[in-house]
Amino acid sequence: MTGRARARSRGRARGQETAAPGVTPFQETAREAPPSEGELVGRGRQRTAPGAVSSEAVIQISAGFQQVKIGERGGRRRDFHDAGINTRQAMEHVRESKSGFSGSPIELKANFFKILSRPQWVLYQYHVDFKPVMESRRLRSALMYQHEETLGKARTFDGALLFLPHKLHNTTVLYSETRMGEKVQITVTLTNELPPTSPVCLQFYNIIFRRVLRMLNMQQIGRHYYNPTDPLNIPQHRLTIWPGFTSTILQYESNIMLCTDVSHKVLRSETVLSFMMGLRQQSGDQRFPEACTKELVGLIVLTKYNNKTYRIDDIAWDHTPNNTFKRGDSEISFKDYYKAQYGLDITDGNQVLLISHMKKIGPSGGPPQGPAMLVPEFCYLTGLTDKMRADFNIMKDLSTHTRLTPEQREGRLNRFVGNIHQNTEAQTELNTWGLNFDNKLLSLTGRVLPSERIVQGSRTYNPWQADWSKEMRGIPLISCRPLENWLMFFTRRNNDVAQALLQTLNKVSTPLGIRMQRAIICVGFLPKVVVVLPSNRKDKYDSVKKYLCVDCPTPSQCVVARTLCKQQALMTVATKIALQINCKMGGELWSVEIPLKQLMIVGIDCYHDTAAGKRSIGALVASLNQGMSRWFSKCVLQNRGQEIMDGLKVALQGALKAWLKHNNCLPSRIIVYRDGVGDGMLQSVVNYEVPQIMEPKLTLVVVKKRISSRFFARIDGKLTNPPPGTCIDTEVTRPEWYDFFIVSQAVRMGSVSPTHYNVVYDSSGLKPDHMQRLTYKLCHMYYNWQGIIRVPAPCQYAHKLAFLVGQSIHREPNMNLDDFLYYL
Amino acid sequence: MNTIFTPPLYIQRYEFVIDFVKKNKPKKVVDLGCNDCTLLRKLKFHKEIELLAGLDIDCAVIRAKMYELAPIPTDYLQPGDHPLTIELYQGSVTERDPRTKGFDLVTSIELIEHLQLEDVDRFTEVVFGYMAPVAAIISTPNADFNPLLPGLTGFRHYDHKFEWTKVEFQTWALKVCREFGYVVAFTGVGQIPAQEESIGFCSQIGVFQIDRSGGDAPRLQNNVLYNVVYPSLCDSNIFQRTLVNEVLYWAETLKREWLEEIRFEVENEEVGGEGRTDMGLYREGQSVCVPLVRLCSCPRVQALSGTVQHLTKFLLENSRVQLTNDGTAVVLVDNDDEDLEWDENCDNTGTGPFLVSSVENEDWETELGQ
């Protein structure tokens, strides 16, 4: 599912709809970033010949992106593309080239379309002054409308900045009159000529593109646009899926391109009220408030009366639609307000209200407005709840609708761009600005990195596929911990399956090299526990893990009885369990060659626990040996507002101590793979986290899985997924970054997602080629999967750890477990 | 200037129109001089209206906000019972435009004073003679009121070509009634406490009602700036989809409840078990059948289909719902819940022999020259 729950409450004000009750309506005032003249191209009087832009300038331009903001309606926005963070120029060894060379070339297609603009295309930026000063931005726009013959049809005006595709005189003075008969002098001064690559132009292309999508009758939800006329329905769960597209126009390595991907929005065709009534029926009056809070808080809702999205932050149990709020000078009840304002009747007068805290800054930079109160009857849920995500049947139904093969995906993208080309209104809009899009997907060349040899004890093998569960059968593991003094718990009803598991475990462990004693009950010291759970009830699992990770530190393995029921699969299941148990006790399974000495690899990820007051859990996993087969793991719990790195710094010190203990020296270089960096958070990683872990030879790589770039390969005349190991470091990367993409895993269904690696800091001088290959090697090292995974193993370990703590334990695990992969 | 009134006068004018719409329930409404569509945006919430149109001579001001009249996501999630089409035209109120014929209500809010006096005559002829709506609401400033407005000299707006007194307005309106067969009621919005009663309202309003029954002229459509049809249950595709979704949802819900009940009975070794039929559901081979009679008792299904006969008819036409041979029950497959793990990494399979053989015995350290 792409874009799941990504539409955090970013509902931006759409026009002049009255603000939600409880929120004082305000006028949006134009906010212009203070000009930082001199250092940035694209600001101030920049009059060099457009078109001839050096690569150096492109980098600078891209870096200046976030300094200037234009918006159709003003207001502040977060920069989701992390533009303007130029990390590459600080790394000397990649300034010239950041490309690798090993592997064999492969022809690829990517979901990018080039932007074509007229030659000599320039965007003219004007500053507009009103005399007397006009406070209202609406009024300012209205006054400008009176001069269409001078300004032309194509224009963008945000209240202070005016953009036109043609040139006026350097200073144009216009006269308008307000409705009140006040005479206003408007001075339009040319301030800038912007080449197509300028950051303002990029932002501008995005605005134009959004207009075009609206012309195609697409609906904006959150950041993306969806087509509501042809929904897919899953009536059993009241789910409606709208197909749509994500789109971004940015300066990529060599061109300005539109990156667009198919996205699906999951909506629910029931109101929050009917959802709540269903919940009350299920959970009973007693447990209803708790269940309700758990299910609803954090979800995004759409309302029946305006085009905004809200995040449910709380439930006002003491409020009903009969409560009043202050509107202007008088008090009005919610019931009367909705009737008067929107002609909407509230049928259930006893429903409790929902609370949404508005993040948006109040008028003229003031404090944020108070919370908005929402009536459940008028709200529709979007996205999936955790409960739904855990429901295999729902996910299966969803994936049949949303998983697209590379060919289907390419078809949809081509049709989308085709629609833009065929829509006359859209073409008129683009033509007035002198812009257009390429009509075919970008072609580029990638490389397939050499395959990795798996080292397992004295034996090595080259996996034929991205999965070596077959190859490793019958080969002893690198190191095994004997399974002694262990316990197995199960209920009376599960006696049969438990006995079967015991027998099979015995059978499979000998060839792997695991010595296994009979399971016995041992009072006092419990080195290892296997628990057979009767069902996959989360609370039972949670309490088992909580006890064995915190109070009584013991490696443990839980198995749901149902997985053991299938006779034919029992061998496979038992093998996996045996491997997993071995890892948890400190055994090593396999390895790959790492041609660097004294190298410590660190993986960091975090998990945001919405239930426990928005607490974050940061997990750090660090390698302890040359073969990357032993790991030190530490978890820190962070309260709201705290930087995750503060705690992780302590964890890293612990990792270094553990390294010293294992190797009698300190690592000579550290490479950190940092996962869990959201859109727009890159700046804080670069500015804050890098200095925190300053080491002489440090590399910090930001790993991103949720990206909209997709790659397709043409193999035997068919468009397929690129093979594992495909690396892309040209064309679609960003000029201001040292970044690359690797497709490491193989998927059976749908299109594979590449992973984006952005090296934001590197003082080790490692060649880009080696950086890429090391990264790919690490994707082989995740012991819970006998194959290549999507991210380097330490990231996946860190993710697993943070998830276990965030979901089940909620406390810091006992430090006796730090040297084990107990969370697998 | 208008701040001496609360709520502001322009809001009061809109509210006047909205109250009229609520009371008279016109099906087709056109706003002449719709400007940035503020009134239309308010009117679109009134379910009585099936066609909502706006006309303005300035297409730029229409374009500025017209997309705000588009349906919002929730309009698609739960389509309304009533159809609604919104259209915006560029055109002049002094010219005959076939698209503006046959409306139930024409509103012209603070418009006529922007016309030259000779154009007012043409406007009168076009609106009452040609468009011939069932009702019309015409508002214009009341010049008698101007002395009460602090600091006002001349007209209230630079673009006003005239401002009529109460008597002038009424004279014009009564002439309209005589010529075109309408009756008019005079009213207005905006009064200051302690003002002289005879001055009247700040904005004077004439509400015209046709005095004869006018036939609907066929409407032609051209040069439409914007046309949007709201999703509604009147669209048969949308209706079918909504009904099928409701039916399947309730059928699945009933099936689940029924199966749970059976399981409960079996576990507690109660007699009867599967034989109990008080929910009306029954098994047929691997499937569970949910009678339509039972489904029809679900409020939403009933509201959509009315009777069991209708429901049967609708469902027989649809291929997404499988009915029993006699057409009295919905057939649902009772799939045993599968137990497969759901792990993002479970998807691995090879994409074929594309792997390049590996490089052996490398040492990256030496290449670093350190």
User: Which ipTM did the prediction report?
Assistant: 0.74
Angle at A745 between CA A807 and CA A721, to 5 degrees: 130
Tokens 């393995």, residue?
A557
Q: How far is CA A746 from CA A403, A444, A724, A753, in A?
A: 15, 20, 6, 9
Q: Mean pLDDT across the stretch A732-740?
A: 92
| Distance from C-alpha of A746 to C-alpha of B352, rounded to nearest angstrom | 10
C-alpha to C-alpha distance for B123 and B115, rounded to whole angstroms: 9
User: What's residue A326's pLDDT?
Assistant: 80
Taking one residue from A and the other from B, the number of pairs with CB-CB distance under 8 angstroms is 201
Q: Which of B241, B344, B350 sits opposite A464 (nearest CB)?
A: B350
DSSP-derived letter for residue A224 is: E
The rounded Cα B79 to chain-centroid distance in angstroms is 9
Q: Return the top range by mean pLDDT from A306-315, A638-647, B216-225.
A: A306-315
Per-residue model confidence (pLDDT) at position A367? 57
pLDDT at A701: 93
Instruction: Pick the range with the lowest mean pLDDT from A121-130, A411-420, A558-567.
Output: A558-567
Q: Which of A377, A675, A729, A731 is catalytic?
A: A675
Task: With beta carbons less than 8 A apart as the criterion, state whether B300 and B246 touch.
Answer: yes
The verdict on B113 touching A (C-beta cutoff 8 Å) is no
Instruction: Check whether A278 has a pLDDT greater than 50.
Output: yes
Contact A235 B368 (CB under 8 A): no
Phi, psi of A761 (to 5 degrees): -150, 135
Alpha helix stretches (DSSP H) within A614-714: 644-663, 682-684, 690-692
pLDDT band at A672 (very low <50, low <70, confident <90, very high): very high
Set of chain B residues whose Cβ sits within 8 Å of the Cβ of A236: 248-249, 252
Report the range of poorest mean pLDDT among A179-188, A243-252, B263-272. Answer: B263-272
With a cut of 60, say whether residue A6 has pLDDT above it. Answer: no
Whether A483 shows a pLDDT value over 90: the answer reads: no
- Alpha helix (H) ranges present in A369-526? 386-390, 392-402, 406-422, 424-433, 495-512
Burial label for A624, CB within 10 Å (0-12, 13-18, 19+), is: buried
Residue-wise pLDDT for A523-538, tens only, equals 444 456 677 777 667 7
Residues A679-693 pLDDT 10s: 778 888 888 887 777
AA identity, residue A624: L
**Six-digit token string for A676:** 């869990």
Q: What is the mean pLDDT of the segment spanning A306-322?
A: 87
Chain A contact set for B359 (CB, 8 A)? 102, 450
| pLDDT at residue A372, as a whole number | 85
**Choice among A98-102, A627-631, B277-281 with the minimum mean pLDDT:** B277-281
pLDDT higher than threshold 60 for residue A248: yes
pLDDT at residue B46, rounded to an integer: 84
**Is the predicted pLDDT of residue A447 greater than 90, yes or no?**
yes
Average the pLDDT over A644-656 and give the result: 84
DSSP-assigned states of every residue in A42-85: TSSS--SPTT---HHHHHHHHHTGGGS---SS------TT-TT-
Q: Is A562 on the interface with B (CB under 8 A)?
A: yes
Q: How many whole angstroms separate alpha carbon A122 and alpha carbon A118? A: 9
A324 pLDDT band (50/70/90 cuts)? Answer: confident
CB interface of A with B, residues 114-143, below 8 Å: 141-142
Please report the sign of the dihedral spanned by the C-alpha atoms of residue A156, residue A157, residue A163, residue A167. Answer: positive
Mean pLDDT split into 10-residue runs, chain B, 370 residues: 71 90 91 87 87 86 81 85 89 85 90 89 90 91 85 78 90 91 90 78 91 50 71 86 87 84 71 55 82 84 84 82 83 59 37 40 57
A132 prior amide bond cis, ω within 30: yes
Minimal CA separation from A464 to chain B, in Å: 7
Mutate to test the interface with B, among A1, A2, A180, A719 (most CBs of B within 10 A): A180
pLDDT of A53 over the 60 cut: no
Helix (H, G, I), strand (E, B) or coil at A583: helix
Is any Cβ of chain A less than 8 angstroms from the Cβ of B215? no
pLDDT at residue A458 is higher than 80: no
Question: Does the predicted TM-score (pTM) go above 0.80?
Answer: no
Average pLDDT of chain A to the nearest whole number: 79
Report the share of chain A in percent with pLDDT over 90.
17
Of A1-10, A230-239, A349-358, A464-473, give the lowest mean pLDDT range.
Answer: A1-10
Tell me if B45 and A724 make a contact (CB, 8 A cut-off).
no
Whether residue A336 lies in the annotated active site: no
The whole-number pLDDT of residue A817 equals: 84
Catalytic one among A261, A452, A605, A736? Answer: A605
pLDDT in tens, B280-297: 788 877 788 888 888 888
Q: How far apart are CA A577 and CA A314, in angstroms?
A: 41
pLDDT confidence of residue A111: 93
Mean pLDDT along residues A502-509: 84
Dig out the tokens for B118 from the structure: 């000779």
**Is A353 within 8 Å of A316 (Cβ atoms)?**
yes
